[in-house]
Amino acid sequence: MLRLLVTGGMGFIGSNFIRYALRTRSVWTIVNLDKLTYAGNPANLADIQSCDGGGRYRFVLGDIQDSALVTRILDEGIDVVVNFAAESHVDRSIMDPVPFLQTNVLGTQALLDAVRGRSLERFVQVSTDEVYGPAPAEIVFTEETPFRPTNPYAASKAAADLLCFSSHKTYGTPVVIGRPTNNYGPCQYPEKFIPLVITRALENEPIPIYGDGQQIRDWLYVEDNCEALCWLAEAGQPGEVYNIAARTGVPNREVAERILNLVGRPVSLLRSVADRPAHDRRYALDDTKIRVAMGLFPAWTLDRGLEATVQWYVAHPQWWRPIKSGEYRRFYEDWYSQR
């Protein structure tokens, strides 16, 4: 048996992780602590909620900064913490960095403080390739590459990684850090590029492409990331960092064109808009370390992953249409009216 505390489990990757872990790890139990910000959506785990994961899953509404609450959960018996909870959207961090510092930096420190001195097997920190900053052409970054974050979100995640290292060195906290590239797949909030392109294409709306659209991201299907993070939770070496990648570097415009092709919409929907400030041109990671340690990885090609993702959004308009009103609409108008 392995008892997990998963934070931020109502968000995109966290909810996929919980569903995947309950399916593939029959002896795991999971407590999901989530504050339900705009990005946290109980509908992401409605199927698990209704069957209660066979008694192996429980949701707790709350903030990772609430030390008393976190302590109560830990007191019930937890072997592994997996920290997904974060403000995750780069554009929002450019508009207002403060919530990013609160959750990503102070929230991570609050969790580290809460686990200090406890007999925990692992504290898995879900970091990001953005901590390294942009990779020059032909270069791939290893786990030893120095941090060069360029936007407030990336800086807050780099700060969290440093706090994790310091907790490991100072107090012996069994920290394991995973640094995944850009994820995509079901239940991703439509502020992010791939679901934004899919949902706007489905509604025949213009699709904003920042600058020349030649920026490169390494698109990792969320289920492959979940398998890697499950492996970190059960076998990651405390004190170590693991890059998690797909090696699918493709320019944004090409990704959008592939999606339009799948949805059957014209490329004339793509509109060049003013670039994001400090827009990192390219991300590319060397993930040899985790591939060697885990064996076979990843399982999804970009073509298959995009097809599955498009199919999911086509089949679930009841999931994304309500999101696109209210808070989302206000954010969209604020941000894109400046572009």
What amino acid positions are annotated as catalytic residues? 129-130, 153
Tell me which residue has its CB nearest to ligand DAU. Answer: 128
In the complex, minimum distance from the CB of residue 282 to ligand DAU, in angstroms, rounded to a whole number: 9
Q: How far is the CB of 118 from ligand NAD (least distance, A)?
A: 19
Q: Which stretch binds ligand NAD (CB under 6 A): 2-10, 230-238, 269-277, 295-303?
A: 2-10
Binding ligand DAU (rule: CB under 6 A), the pick from 103, 156, 167, 181 is 181
210 within 8 A of 276, measured Cβ to Cβ: yes
Site for ligand NAD in 167-186 (CB under 6 A): 180, 182-183
120's torsion region: left (phi>0), alpha (psi -120 to 50) or beta? Answer: beta
Read off the DSSP letter of residue 266.
-
If binding is defined by CB under 6 A, does position 32 make contact with ligand NAD?
no
- 105 or 196, CB closer to ligand DAU? 196
Instruction: Give the torsion sign (CA, 223, 229, 235, 240).
Output: positive
Quickly count: other Cβ atoms within 10 Å of residue 67's Cβ.
13
> Is residue 39 within 8 Å of 15, Cβ to Cβ?
no
The site partner of 103 among ligand DAU, ligand NAD, none (C-beta below 5 to 8 Å per kind) is: ligand NAD
CB neighbours of residue 291 within 10 Å? 18
Q: 20, 38, 147, 210: which one contacts ligand DAU (CB under 6 A)? A: 210
Q: CA-to-CA distance for 281 and 259, rounded, in angstroms?
A: 21
Q: CA Rg, the chain, in Å?
A: 19
For residues 287 and 245, give the distance between their C-alpha atoms in angstroms, rounded to a whole number: 6
Stretch that binds ligand NAD, among 5-13, 197-205, 258-266, 314-322 (CB under 6 A): 5-13
> Taking CA 200 as the corner, what is the angle to CA 12 and CA 267, rounded to the nearest 5 degrees?
120
Interacting stretch for ligand NAD, rule CB under 6 A, among 35-43, 199-207, 296-304, 310-318? 35-43
Asked if residue 224 binds ligand DAU (CB under 6 A), the reply is no
Question: In the set 19, 252, 260, 298, which binds ligand DAU (CB under 6 A)?
Answer: 252
Is residue 320 within the footprint of ligand DAU (CB under 6 A)? Answer: no
Residue 141 has what DSSP assignment? Answer: B
Contact between 242 and 177 under an 8 Å Cβ cutoff? The reply is yes
Binding mask 103-132 vs ligand DAU (x if CB under 6 A, - otherwise)?
Answer: -------------------------xxx--
Q: Do the Cβ atoms of 265 and 313 come closer than 8 Å?
A: no
Binding residue for ligand NAD, selected from 10, 114, 158, 245, defined by CB under 6 A: 10
Q: Which two tokens stand for residue 122?
A: 């692992």
Instruction: Please provide the DSSP assignment of 175-188 as one string.
Output: EEEEEE--EESTT-
From the list ligand DAU, ligand NAD, none, partner contacted by residue 10 (C-beta under 5 to 8 A by kind): ligand NAD
- Note the residues at the interface with ligand NAD (CB under 6 A): 7-8, 10-14, 33-37, 39-40, 63-65, 84-86, 88, 103, 107, 126, 128, 157, 180, 182-183, 189
